[in-house]
Amino acid sequence: MIAKNTPPRRPRWRSLALLALCLVPLLWPLHHLAERYYRQELASQNRQTLDLYVANLLGTLHRYETLPQILGDLPALRGVLADPFRLEAVTNANRLLKNIVQQTGAEVMYLMDVSGNTLAASNWDKHDSFVGRNFAFRPYFNEAMAGHLGRFFGQGTTSAKRGYFFAAAVRDGERTVGVLVVKVDLDHTETLWGRTPEQLLLTDHNGVVILTSRPEWRFRATRPLTAAERQAIIAIQPYPTQAPQPLVISDDAWITQTRAIPETGWQVSILAPRILVDRSAQTVTAIGAGALLVIVLLTGLVMQRRRHYMDRIDFEARGRQQLEQRVAERTADLEGLNARLKSAVLERENAQQEAVRAQDELVQAGKLSVLGTMSASISHELNQPLAAIRSYAENAEILLDHQRTEDARGNLKLIGELTGRMASIIAHLRAFARRDRHAPESVALQPALDDALALLAKRRRAMAVELVRDLPEATLWVQAGETRLRQVLGNLLANALDALTEKANPRRLWISAEQQDDCVYLSIRDNGPGFSRQALEHAREPFFTTKTRTQGLGLGLAICDSLMRTLGGELLLANHPEGGALLTLKMRVAPPGATLPNSEDSSA
């Protein structure tokens, strides 16, 4: 008898634990590399944000930088400096400055004499007016009196509003007769920052925070101030406090990137929470630890299976020893078994050959199916242009018989345009198959609709279909493609005529368009039988149709729906309350194009 198989031994968990201990130290370099990677990504992102903010800040300042130098020559301002006690001159100057502030968007603009007294200001009619106040203690006044462009950031002692000041001297020949100052409001630059984990910090030459996305950091010193700096702060009063409190920013909590602005002496910093990097690095480390655990478990599984395999080999060896004792008795049985095995192998080889043959037939059938679908699509989409070409050719022949060569040449030109459109339709069918996208352009709706109606004019007249148009006189411009829009309109109008084929007179077709907000709605309605419930649910699916095989393949609405979605529009299907189908094209409004395209002659 064959001995019973001994139960498999458990895997050596001690070896697995030792392997895990050897692999755990690999998590440290993984964490380090992940932290380095995410830190570099965060630094690159913050660097771009910093550049954008600095560009916006400098752009705001440069917009007002030249105003004091340009406006100083205005006669109304020079009149005040010449006679500051004349009420009419002061009133004219105040109103002029107020108008300039409203036009330029500056915070306030005021004119001072050589002693620093404000003679006129744009806020002369406000409760915090600068008129009559002396600002000779401000640095920008002294710089302007010295012949330079004065620059200064500070909080107003009168308005209590922060701002950046530009000052320029008003000169009468070689003599300075006054100073014109423009104050720029920079509060909005803080609001541009938005609610993000990163924080904005802008410090002046004293290291004091003047702009920040965190109000509690404002007007606090990021470094110790020298005695000279403290005295200057007391003298020129740039902040609401004369002793800015220190601001301690922990390097363990924030990752700081700083960029200097030499033009103003400021430094702009972005502080990103270190937790953004730590969290991502910890996630990568956790994933690495999970992968390590999977490796250990897989190793244990391999060891377990290896032991099962060794036990199986041992069991087979013992069984082989017993079988060798009975080989003489089983020789005949083994020969019969060998014959049966050969027969089974032959049958399996035949089955494999049949499977390969069946697979080749399936592949060939798939190729033929794709080829059939493409042929059906091209045939469906080219029927209308081919019909139009046939009609134009017949008309050209008649026109030539009547010696109307110019009219015949026009028909031949239209035939050429239609052949180009056929090539474009084939390209768009290929785009429909692979969901290709094309950049929309501005297209005039009425000429495209006229061209689509012209292609179907002969058929419509033959069916005695009354056309009711309700289109605005002004041209409606939509975002679409010239050929794709005409293709959609042609398909929808052709479907409407198909729906009226079996209806008795009167047969009517309504076309209307209107613009609402930023969309144009084009409605095509017929008085046919309308959509069934099943048709409304499946009309957009390829090869769904209620027609016979000779009437259509069910691709028209599917292609129209795909083209409209590609152009950023929408095709809406419904039944009109008074009966008949209602198709609505929703398209985006586009800016008017350079010229209107020449529509095809609707009488052709």
User: Model confidence at 602, in pLDDT bands (50, 70, 90)?
Assistant: very low
pLDDT-above-90 percentage for the chain: 12
Asked if the model's pLDDT at residue 491 lies above 60, the reply is yes
User: Model confidence at 97, in pLDDT bands (50, 70, 90)?
Assistant: very high
Average pLDDT over residues 262-291: 81
Q: CA 382 to CA 384: how far, in whole Å?
A: 6
Average pLDDT over residues 156-169: 85
Average pLDDT over residues 147-174: 86
Least confident span in 113-122, 325-334, 467-476, 591-600 = 591-600
Residue 273 pLDDT:
83
Residue 511 pLDDT:
94
Q: CA 481 to CA 486: how far, in whole Å?
A: 8
Q: CA 407 to CA 488: how far, in whole Å?
A: 28
CB burial of 498-524 (b: ≥16 within 10 Å; e: otherwise) equals: bbbeebeeebbbbbebebeeeebbbbb
Residue 365 pLDDT:
47
Burial class (CB in 10 A: 0-12, 13-18, 19+), 177: middle
CB burial of 73-101 (b: ≥16 within 10 Å; e: otherwise) equals: ebebbbbbbeebeeeebbebbbebbbebb
Asked if the model's pLDDT at residue 32 lies above 60, the reply is yes
Element (H, E) at 563: helix 556-566
Asked if the model's pLDDT at residue 276 lies above 60, the reply is yes
User: Model confidence at 438, in pLDDT bands (50, 70, 90)?
Assistant: low
Single pTM value for the model: 0.45
Average pLDDT over residues 544-550: 53
pLDDT (tens digit per residue) in 199-255: 888 888 888 888 887 888 888 888 888 888 888 888 888 888 888 888 888 777 788
Q: CA 380 to CA 73: how far, in whole Å?
A: 75
Average pLDDT over residues 72-87: 88
Average pLDDT over residues 513-522: 91
Least confident span in 286-295, 324-333, 435-444, 517-526 = 435-444
Average pLDDT over residues 585-599: 72
Could you tell me the domains of the chain?
64-187 (3.30.450.20), 196-275 (3.30.450.20), 359-436 (1.10.287), 438-588 (3.30.565.10)
Residue 40 CA: distances (Å) to CA of 43, 105, 199, 268: 5, 39, 18, 19
**Cross-strand partners of 169:** 179
- Average pLDDT of the chain is 80
Asked if the model's pLDDT at residue 426 lies above 70, the reply is no
Note whether 193 and 217 are within 8 A (CB): no
- Better-scored residue on pLDDT, 221 or 423: 221
User: Model confidence at 182, in pLDDT bands (50, 70, 90)?
Assistant: very high
pLDDT (tens digit per residue) in 103-139: 988 989 999 999 999 999 999 988 888 898 998 888 9
Asked if the model's pLDDT at residue 167 lies above 90, the reply is yes
User: β-strand 507-516 against 519-526: which pairing, if any?
Assistant: antiparallel
- Better-scored residue on pLDDT, 212 or 427: 212
Query: Which pair of structure tokens corresponds to residue 460?
Result: 């419509």
Residue 604 CA: distances (Å) to CA of 301, 398, 407: 80, 12, 10
Average pLDDT over residues 397-403: 88
Residue 117 pLDDT:
93
User: Model confidence at 519, in pLDDT bands (50, 70, 90)?
Assistant: very high
Residue 433 pLDDT:
44
